[in-house]
Copies of this chain bind each other. A is one copy, B any other.
């Protein structure tokens, strides 16, 4: 277990010496995952509203299928994105395989079903009275959806954070479509995977600790804003 202590020391050293390569990798990791989370939220939340607020045949099945996609292996998503963007694939002409862009696309594909499913759950958690009240006060469908979404804001935020967590922590997809190219598509997880394969356990764990610290910051900011704004309200 001394490796763990060593890893912490290494992590602190890397952070406080500001090792430029590690900093660059960390920034890239955050950039890719945040972009992916943003776009995925942009897609998932409206779709979740469409699913939740409409009654249609097969709605239950659709939700089950979405839930199934919680279990989609990153390798499978990686393969799919790869065959689409590879030279021989339908979008090969774009030539964006092994770039950060395609990593963002892959992560969006990976986390959108999860985010959609969780947002549907979040919306279902809002008491039906809220919807009735909004409608009875003259809200149109969009306005009503917005109101319900606001009531479900914490659960929706959790959905987005879980998507972010999945995006920032996954490695199979990142290697497969990003290629783990040093200085270009290497992220913290792919770097960890490389260091591990080279037997550098401490360094790898140190990178993992840095990743968790980043995630902690991203996740704490909203709850911090929330607390601040509720404090403002009370004044």
Contacts and interface: CB of A to CB of B under 8 A. Distances in A.
24 contacts: A1-B83, A1-B84, A1-B89, A4-B83, A60-B223, A64-B220, A68-B216, A68-B219, A69-B165, A70-B161, A70-B215, A71-B168, A71-B169, A71-B211, A72-B165, A72-B169, A73-B168, A73-B188, A73-B189, A74-B169, A76-B204, A79-B204, A118-B158, A125-B125
Interface of A: 1, 3-4, 60, 63-65, 67-76, 78-80, 82-84, 89-90, 114, 117-118, 121, 124-125, 127, 154-155, 158, 161-162, 164-166, 168-172, 176, 188-189, 192-193, 196, 201, 204-205, 208-209, 211-212, 215-216, 219-220, 223, 227
Contacts of A68: 165, 212, 215-216, 219-220
A64 B219 contact: yes
B73 A192 contact: yes
B208 A67 contact: no
